[in-house]
Structure 1
């Protein structure tokens, strides 16, 4: 289940974001969290499975297009299709017609974008 980021989830969100290669540096991680907190078009969602937060997806929202800025799942939950579920639920929110990757997320998302396009038909 997608849960929209709020300040009370800051430490959990930072922990999840730290699994992304470009977010290993604490200073960069703090800047990223601030960007999601301060900029209206940057939206962060956490994925909750049971009582545990196991994934995160962050987007840059421009009209009906959501550009995936960050997406990761805790290593022990990888391979369970959580990333695809996050993307599907993000699209089901109804505010985005198109989900696309940025330069950093494209290698990861290459396998999911065709599935999402197929789901649209």
Structure 2
């Protein structure tokens, strides 16, 4: 289930985002978290499976269009459909007319594009 980010989840969120190759640098990671905390149009969700946070998805929202900035899953949960579930729930919450990748997330999201296209319909 998607859980909206709040400050008490900062360390968990940083750990999850650090699985993304472009977020390995601690300075960039801190800047990313600050962006989600300080800018209302940047929204971060953690994916909770049971009692464990196993994925994260972050979007930049402009005019009800959500552009996926970050998406990753804990390595031990990869291949279990977690990313698909996160995207599906993100599309189903009804806050966005369109959900789309950015340049960095597009290669990862290529296989999920049919789900994103359904959200637009």
Normalising TM by the smaller chain, what interval? over 0.9
**Aligned mates of 1:99, 1:24 — CA distance in 2:** 25
Matches within 5 A, 1:51-90: 51-90=51-90
Q: Does 1:27 align with 2:30?
A: no
Superposition TM-score, scaled by structure 2 size: 0.96
Cα distance change on mapping 1:43 and 1:23 into 2, 3 Å: same
RMSD: 1.2
Dislocated runs of 4+, deviation >4 Å: 118-121
**Aligned mates of 1:5, 1:118 — CA distance in 2:** 25
Deviation at 1:119, TM superposition (A): 6.6
**Aligned mates of 1:62, 1:6 — CA distance in 2:** 21
Q: Can you give the 5+ residue segments of structure 1 that lack an aligned partner in the other structure?
A: none
Query: The residue matched to 2:111 in structure 1 has which SS?
Result: coil
Query: The residue matched to 2:107 in structure 1 has which SS?
Result: helix
**Aligned mates of 1:39, 1:12 — CA distance in 2:** 19
**Aligned mates of 2:94, 2:119 — CA distance in 1:** 14
Superposition TM-score, scaled by structure 1 size: 0.96
Q: Can you give the 5+ residue segments of structure 2 that lack an aligned partner in the other structure?
A: none
